[in-house]
Amino acid sequence: MTDTAPPVGGRTIGLAHYAGRAVLERVLARHGATFQEQITLRAAVTADGPLERGALVERVTDALKTEAADVHATVDGLLAAGLLAADGPLVRPTDAGRELFAVVGAETGEISARIYAGIPPEDLAATGRVLARVTERAEAELAELTRAAR
């Protein structure tokens, strides 16, 4: 365990992100799923009801900062696998999709509990506040870069 705090910056935040993502991707691989599929399922499962396909794609595109065409392909794959179902323009998770999402969530929840064990709640709260601010500022910069590129 690290006793001295590294300086906070993009590298430190990125290393933590990639370590956590690698854990999730290992769990997902055991279930034959990908990271983008899990994020797409999450958006569908946590929605208040069926979503228009475009709204689902937009949620995932916004979350992952990826191309809509990639997310459309992911939705197509989830539909073909029976994890999502379409009713006209509306998309909803199937029972199998909800079950996969729940199983992966349970497995990663146990791992996350071990990862965060022993970290004082006030440290976690401060980290949450800082990361929320970093995310907000990075998204503002990304929006500016996107506007400038047009």
Q: Which two tokens stand for residue 121?
A: 């709640």
Is the per-residue pLDDT at 128 higher than 70?
Answer: yes
Is the per-residue pLDDT at 105 higher than 80?
Answer: yes
Q: What is the pLDDT of residue 7?
A: 80
Decide: helix, strand or coil at residue 48: coil
CA separation for the pair 148, 150 (Å, rounded): 5
- Quickly state the pLDDT bin for 6 (edges 50, 70, 90): confident
- Find the radius of gyration of the CA atoms of the chain: 18
Task: Burial-class residue 61 by CB neighbours within 10 Å (0-12, 13-18, 19+).
Answer: middle
pTM, to two decimals: 0.88
Ordered structural domains, the chain, with CATH: 23-97 (1.10.10.10)
- What is the three-state SS of 84-139? EEEECCEEEECHHHHHHHHHHHHHHHHHHHHHHCCCCHHHHHHHHHHHHHHHHHHH
